[in-house]
Structure 1
Amino acid sequence: MLDRYVIPIIKKPLEQGARCCIQRGISANQVTIASFAIGLLAIPALWQHYYLLALVFIVFNRIGDGLDGAIARQTQTTDAGGFLDICLDFLFYALIPLGFLLAEPEQNGLYAALLIVSFVGTGSSFLAFASVAAKHKIDNPIYQHKSLYYMAGITEGTETIGFFIAFCLWPNAFPTLATVFAILCFMTTANRIWAGYHTISKSEFNDVKQTLNKWSPDEDL
């Protein structure tokens, strides 16, 4: 929901960082993998209750996630790179609630599980629509720089990093914050399913209509 407002603000710093990386021969895929590895360090930090240290790893991971895309746009955007990026992103998102579960199993277990399930909803609706949208050549007017069709929702990257920061700053409030975030994710999933279904149905109808308009009875004579 907030990505469309935040992206223009961070675009210039990311582009400057991307130019520095390119000058040093650092590729987008290298940044993707390195930032994911850094993000993984947040899990043991959370497990051991080093929440502020975990926050540092999370922030560096998210900076890297923006930087790899900026590098790709200044060099060469590839579907393989986009695939790698989105897979590692979704895996990272699911691992953070796991870290809080490991930190306080009795307090956080149920809420971490709820949050991970909600991530499955947002991720599956995102990827399912992206695959069908590509098949029907549905344009993405909002996030044209994305390798996959980026279907907007209430919870996007900005909201996710915001809640992750809140989790680390107020770990005792994780159950409440996770519940709120999960509800927002479920709302996003429902909206994407509804909007995605109607968008695809409309595209299929238009495809059939165009086919019928091109067909002429004289062609069979």
Structure 2
Amino acid sequence: MLDTHARKYVDPFIDRTATSFLNTGLTANQVTHVAFAIGVTSGLWIYLEQPLLAIVALWLSGFLDAVDGAMARKSKSSAWGTLLDISYDRLVEISVIVGFAFLYPGSMWALLLLACSIIWAMTIFLTVGALTEKKGMKSFYYQAGLAERTEGFILFSLMILFPNYLTLLTLLFLAVEVFTALQRLNEAKKILKEAE
């Protein structure tokens, strides 16, 4: 939701950063690799009980993830870059969930359900993107929903900052993901019927 409706407020900063990076000779794919390398450490920082480093790594990688998309739109974007970007995003999320699961095994059942809900929501998201001919500003149709990347980062950050409530926050995240998946499924039914 925030990615869709609040992005316009941070876009000027993202855009300026993208232009600066392109002017220094960096490519979108290089920034994608850097964003991944930073973001995937979040789970390690969680496991090592370094919450501030985990949050900084998570949000810095998220910012660079937005910048690489802006760079791709300003230069020649590639299908390979899109694939890298989407797969790296999931690996960063997996690292956070795995970091929590190893540090707090008592919450593992809730974290496992959260991982399953993310898989389901992303399956719908990517399948609709592949099946529809609609295009957005990205290289495929982007289905908005209650939980987009920013909401995920906010919920992950709350989980990192308040580990005493980890199971409860994980179940809240799960509920948001399930709602988002149902939202996307409902929209997908309409979109795909129109295409028939």
Distance 1:164 1:150 in 2: 22
Does residue 183 in structure 1 map to residue 182 in structure 2? no
2:192 corresponds, among 175, 185, 200, to 200
The residue number in structure 2 matching 1:105 is 105
Supply the distance in 2 between the matched residues of 1:187 and 1:5 (Cα, whole angstroms).
18
Cα distance between partner residues in 2 of 1:7 and 1:77? 20
CA distance in 1, matches of 2:7, 2:88: 20
Q: In structure 2, give the amino acid aligned to 1:7.
A: R
**Is contact 1:46–1:102 with CA below 8 Å preserved after alignment?**
no
Instruction: Indicate yes or no: 2:146 matched with 1:154.
Output: yes
For normalisation by structure 1, the TM-score amounts to 0.85
The 5 A counterparts of 1:27-42 are: 27-42=27-42
Do 1:163 and 1:177's aligned partners in 2 also have CA atoms closer than 8 Å? yes
Alpha-carbon offset, residue 4 of structure 1: 2.1
Note if contact 2:44-2:95 (Cα within 8 Å) is conserved in structure 1.
Answer: no
SS of the residue corresponding to residue 151 of structure 1 reads: coil
Contact 1:155 1:184 in 2 (8 A): yes
Distance 1:94 1:2 in 2: 21
The alpha-carbon deviation at position 44 of structure 1 amounts to: 1.5
Residue ranges of structure 2 left out of the alignment (5+ in a row): none
Give 1:86 shift.
Answer: 1.0
Q: How many pairs are equivalent? A: 196
Q: Deviations over 1:88-144 (max 9, x none)?
A: 1122222211111111112x21111111011011110101111111xxx2x24xxx2
Q: Which residue number corresponds to residue 120 of structure 2?
A: 121
Q: Tell me, yes or no, if the aligned pair for 2:41 and 2:95 is still in contact at 8 Å.
A: no
Alpha-carbon contact 1:51-1:171 (below 8 Å) kept: no
Structure 1 counterpart of 2:181, one-letter code = T
Q: Which segments of structure 1 move beyond 6 Å, counting only runs of 4 or more? A: none
Secondary structure of 1:155 counterpart: coil
Mind listing any 5+ residue stretches in structure 1 that lack a counterpart?
A: 205-221
- The alignment's C-alpha RMSD in Å is 1.2
Please report how far the alpha carbon of residue 79 of structure 1 lies from its aligned counterpart in structure 2 after TM superposition: 2.0
